[in-house]
Amino acid sequence: MKNNLYIRIITGILFLPIFYFVAWKMPTAYFTALVMAAAAVGQYEFYRMAQARGFHPNRALGVVLGALVVMEFYHHLSPGPGPILSVTASTIMVLVARLFSPRPVDGAIEDIASTLLGIFYVAFLFAFQVSIRAGMHGKQWLVFLYFVIWASDIGAYSIGIPFGKHRLYEKVSPKKSIEGLIGALAAAAAMALLCRSWFMPPVGGGEAIALGLVLASVGTVGDLTESLFKRAAGVKDSGGIIPGHGGILDRMDSMLFAAPVLYFYLGMR
């Protein structure tokens, strides 16, 4: 258990400069392509979990449409219909593809639902990172998001594993604890203040702390949601691509919920 803790913390720390470079230095088109690739891997992991439940999502179509969704977020930076086009097209195409599939009628609802959920839960929520980066001070806010969520994850794990006594939501995730949540919130608030003093545009200390706490809280719900899917599918991790963390979804589950919250907050700010 201690080895897993050390690996997770070391991997998380090593990922910080990588994601700093990705968010700050990459041209927007390359960054969007990277988000598309990550979303595709996340969709593959999700569809594999759906298959473990006996469903038959249309994986190839789902991944292609997921890429279209991310691309529409990128193209929305210029005049056009925006993501609503890809959302509408995805829904109709998945329905039509299953309608004319050679598979039997039984299971059609589950197959369609799991395919669409892979598009909207993974690719659609992933794509908000593209919109955040394109906004005013977008690079700073995106790095802020990454750092706060990473700090939250490390805080939850480093406090929850050795000191966790009270279960947070045992039905879905038996290992997560209230103590771990407190560690996550404390680490997120501290990181938010550090980012404020380091590279952020003008942001009050109270606003930075509050936003860090909100993003960590929402990220925890995102983490629990992915735990719900894994528990339903009977798997421990969504994949094994990242040492100490599992798959892309295991690493980005908090981000899937936190990125839209930050995007809409910035839009109202």
Predicted confidence at residue 79, as pLDDT, reads 45
Predicted confidence at residue 191, as pLDDT, reads 96
What domain count does the chain have? 1
For residue 163 the two structure tokens come to: 């000191």
Q: What radius of gyration do the chain's Cα atoms show?
A: 19
**Over its length of 269 residues, how does the chain's per-residue pLDDT go in tens digits?**
445 556 666 666 676 677 777 778 888 888 999 999 999 999 999 999 999 999 999 999 999 999 999 988 887 654 445 677 888 899 999 999 999 999 999 999 999 999 999 999 999 999 999 999 988 899 999 999 999 999 998 899 889 888 888 899 889 988 889 999 999 999 999 999 999 988 888 889 999 999 999 999 999 999 999 999 999 999 887 876 665 567 889 888 999 999 999 999 998 87
Please work out, in degrees rounded to the nearest 5, the angle formed at the alpha carbon of residue 266 by the alpha carbons of 178 and 72. 105
Predicted confidence at residue 78, as pLDDT, reads 45
Query: Which residues form the domain of 125?
Result: 2-268
* Model confidence, pTM: 0.89
Torsional sign, CA 101, 54, 107, 119: negative
